[in-house]
Structure 1
Amino acid sequence: MTMTVAFSDAELRRRAEDPAAVLMRDPRHPGLYFRFTEARPRGTWSLVVRKKWLRIGSYPELSAKAVLAALPETRQRLRPEASSPHSQMQQSIPRLLRFASTKRIWRPSRRCCNKMTRYATRYKS
């Protein structure tokens, strides 16, 4: 069963003695979990993103303070929509349009503009 605790190194040392504490989470940091391994004072930090468990480090090599400090950057790096082709396309299309307009790669033909001008002058109301 998942226990809800506030992550700190002192809390992890205290819970290492409790055999019922296997999986823990912190309500202040949704998606961040700590799971004790069979070697009781050791454990694994995991981040759950869209039902996928991603291992981000092991305890005591990575302390609670270090994990909480690096959590925003880790979330940004592991965010699924940052690497999707759809988001890359959303970023590249405006860039392509800006490039085309500044380099004058695309512009309407003169014949098209002349026809419109003649039509506008001929049928003024």
Structure 2
Amino acid sequence: MTIQLTSAEIQEIQQLLKDYAPAQAAFTTLEKYNGRFDTSFDELWQEKTSIEVYGNKSLWDSTLKILREELCGDDGFRSQFQEYTKNPASAPLLTGLIVSVTTLSGLPLDPAISTVVVLYLLKVGLKIFCEYTAP
């Protein structure tokens, strides 16, 4: 099953982050791929790193596995995530989540790629993500 954002969800969050320029590339790519996180992530990754996605191993899945190790055990990130879910109209809180994923991951994630990751986490929920992807 593919998890994706609807056009309405993309537009709503895009409006919330209209003043956060790094996220705009994420929205353009998400719209291009009908809200699909995996294909949007792959394209943004390729643009950023010039590394082609290859083989049948999913770069998206591999990245989520690594992020799980970093994000699910970080109490500060979990707290930040909870604050945003209590106040989903807060652009500063959402931007803070994107910046946190960019810096905590230890991966070559730019804010556009981190935006896709954060929107995915918001769509499925952090607790579900952490439990579902547990080894």
TM-score (norm 1): 0.23
User: Which structure's relative contact order is higher, taking Cα pairs within 8 Å and 6+ residues apart?
Assistant: 2
Query: When you count strand as a share of all residues, which structure comes out higher?
Result: 1
Query: When you count helix as a share of all residues, which structure comes out higher?
Result: 2
